[in-house]
Homo-oligomer: A and B are copies of this chain.
């Protein structure tokens, strides 16, 4: 069976199909995305300026800062989080007094979320460091490569 795989590779090589390399886990998109995401999260954690704020919490706060008031589900869609995941994120932000909520007067199913004064103050502080986080994460690439990476990522996301 080992030799089976090897043979398959040989065949496609011989047929000069579009460079089908041997299958290496380190060269697969999913694997590379996981590693890159790990490193980006690590950089975020040490550079954003508050060790208790996670990347997902940060994007939620930033979105709430843009929109003033949002339902939990809509916020989840805007930042790309499942509603179950959103639930936990929002609960933690509320526990820390960064986010407030009230029932939507027009739709009893919804909860409207907004930043507290503390939340606003914190976002404004974190937003100062935001660009540095991205810069540090991308520092191995030149300007053109950085733009290209962002473009390619947004196209596969």
Contacts and interface: CB of A to CB of B under 8 A. Distances in A.
A26 B62 CA distance: 11
Interface stretch (A33-41, A69-77, A88-96, A103-111): A33-41
Interface string A52-84: 000110010011000000000000000110000
A157 B30 contact: no
18 contacts: A25-B59, A29-B149, A29-B153, A30-B44, A30-B133, A31-B55, A33-B33, A33-B37, A33-B40, A34-B80, A35-B153, A36-B156, A36-B157, A137-B156, A140-B156, A149-B149, A149-B152, A152-B152
A37 B34 contact: yes
Contacts of A157: 32, 35-36, 38-39
Q: How large is the interface on A (under 10, 10 to 19, 20 to 34, 35 or more residues)?
A: 35 or more
Shortest 5 CB-CB distances between A and B: which pairs?
A35-B157, A32-B153, A30-B40, A33-B37, A36-B157
Nearest to A142: B18
A137 B33 CA distance: 11
A41 B157 CA distance: 11
